[in-house]
Amino acid sequence: MSDNIIEAKALSKTFGSFTAVTDLSFSIQQGDVYGFLGQNGAGKSTTIRMLLGLIYPDAGEVYIKGQLFNNRSRHLLQHIGAIIERPNMYLYLTGWDNLKMFARLSGKPIKEQRLHEVLEIVGLKGREQDKVKAYSQGMKQRLGIAIALVHNPDLLILDEPTNGLDPQGIAEMRLLIQSLSRDHGKTILISSHLLYEIEQIATRMIILHRGKKVVEGAVGQLLDPAETLMKVDILPDDSIGVKLNSSEWNRHIHEMSAAKLVFKMHPSQMPALNNWLVAQGAQVLQIRSSHSLEAYFLSLTNEADVKAGTV
């Protein structure tokens, strides 16, 4: 039996003369934290709406837990909880009343014990009797996740869950998503434009560009450690560049100036390089690694544009 929670097969969707998604296939497997990446207009939200039956594809099929999803099988949505953009809630009701009301709308008998459980999971225990209008944006997002969790779905879909959050709120959301996966066994699809956040939490990912899949796979395999950018700040010294150009480290140079050296290499090679630089008289001020999902993303999307003849 397949471990896929959702499988999309050859999805396509147009709106008038605009093609939003073209021949898109991918799968989300049990236990994934699945990163859904793409620039604005790449087709992420359109695809998510097709997965949820909010709109229907012009071509292609969606399978949920191995069963074809269509108008006659909407009961399959019981396996999914979702937040699309900012969750809509009743601001003048308490968090508890919002949660109870949405629990009734789920169509499943849900005990109050479950409501307490999800409030504990998302970190809102003790604030449930406050009116939602008094919640911060991060608290509203967490209440939205509680609502999506209340019927205990297998898959949680989060569309840009960090939108509007400050850095602390983004960090708290990251920890919550990691906990939902690790401690509560949830499979999660997370759509985001924050590449750094996806890199930290996703186990698998897909990159969309102009409605098409550019790449899909395990994050650890797609982001080759040997392609890590190692940035070295030194006191300005033109002689170090000359020595580097005639050394074995020359093949790793990505960018170079008198005060900044950037190498593309595996992090395990950095101690040896640092020792060599110091032996050559370099005064090393700082070393930073940047395993660049952003660089990978840009290289793939730029390559796709070149192939399509749009640049």
Q: What is the pLDDT of residues 159-174, one digit of tens each?
A: 988 888 888 888 899 9
Domain residue limits at 243: 225-290
Tell me, yes or no, whether 144 and 230 share the same domain. Answer: no
- Any domain includes 301: no
User: In total, how many domains does the chain have?
Assistant: 2
201-245 residue pLDDT tens: 999 999 898 899 988 888 877 776 667 778 899 999 999 999 999
Tell me, yes or no, whether 129 and 270 share the same domain. Answer: no
Tell me, yes or no, whether 210 and 258 share the same domain. Answer: no
58-103 residue pLDDT tens: 999 999 999 999 989 999 999 999 988 766 788 999 999 999 998 9
Tell me, yes or no, whether 204 and 229 share the same domain. Answer: no
On whether the pTM is more than 0.95, the answer is no
Tell me, yes or no, whether 100 and 217 share the same domain. Answer: yes
DSSP states of the chain as a string? ---EEEEEEEEEEEETTEEEEEEEEEEEETT-EEEEE--TTSSHHHHHHHHTTSS--SEEEEEETTEE-SGGGGGGGGGEEEE-SSPP--TTSBHHHHHHHHHHHTTS---HHHHHHHHHHHT-TT-TTSBGGGS-HHHHHHHHHHHHHTT--SEEEEESTTTT--HHHHHHHHHHHHHHHHTT--EEEEEES-HHHHHHH-SEEEEEETTEEEEEEEHHHHS-GGG-EEEEEES--HHHHHHHHTSGGGGGEEEE-SSEEEEES-GGGHHHHHHHHHHTT--EEEEEEE--HHHHHHHHHHHHHHHHT--
